[in-house]
Amino acid sequence: MWKEFKEFIMRGNVLDLAIAVVIGAAFNSIVSSLVENIITPIIGVLTGGIDFTNDFVWKYGDASVKFGAFVQSIIDFLIISFSIFIALKVVNTYILRKKKEVIEEPPAKVLDPKEELLKEIRDLLKKENG
């Protein structure tokens, strides 16, 4: 059972997925920082100083519904999705261009001895008959 698990883990797809999760988490923190520190303040300036996360809160007694935090999460999601879309588009374009550059020529056809002999006989018959 340990051997099967080790083979499963060492397969390329599982390792690729693990790497993608780690890179995705790092990418998420970068984009979240972009949204929180750059985009949200710019939106606040454009909307007259509105802070989505703090201004759009509905309070009733001790309970509070944070509509602004939800809007901020939607903005994060849209920016992260768009960033991943652009990154994948660039990577796919690069990969497709690379595949077009690497054109593999088909290997030369290797004739077996019988085919070679038949070819020689055919050529000799053509030469004799004119």
Write the DSSP assignment of 37-106 as a string of letters. IIIHHHHHHHTTS--HHHHSEEEETTEEEEHHHHHHHHHHHHHHHHHHHHHHHHHHHHHHHHHHH-PPPP
The domain made up of 2-129 has a fold known as 1.10.1200
What Cα–Cα distance (Å) separates residue 125 from each residue in 44, 115, 117, 118, 121? 90, 15, 12, 11, 6
CA atoms within 13 A on the CB side of 55: 10
For 61: left if phi > 0, alpha if psi spans -120 to 50, otherwise beta; the answer is: left
The domains of the chain are located at 2-129
**What whole-number distance in Å separates Cα of residue 48 and Cα of residue 102?**
54
* pTM to 2 decimal places: 0.48
pLDDT in tens, the chain (130 residues): 778 877 766 666 777 777 778 888 888 788 778 877 887 778 778 877 777 677 788 888 889 888 888 887 887 788 777 877 887 788 788 777 776 666 666 677 777 888 888 888 899 888 888 7
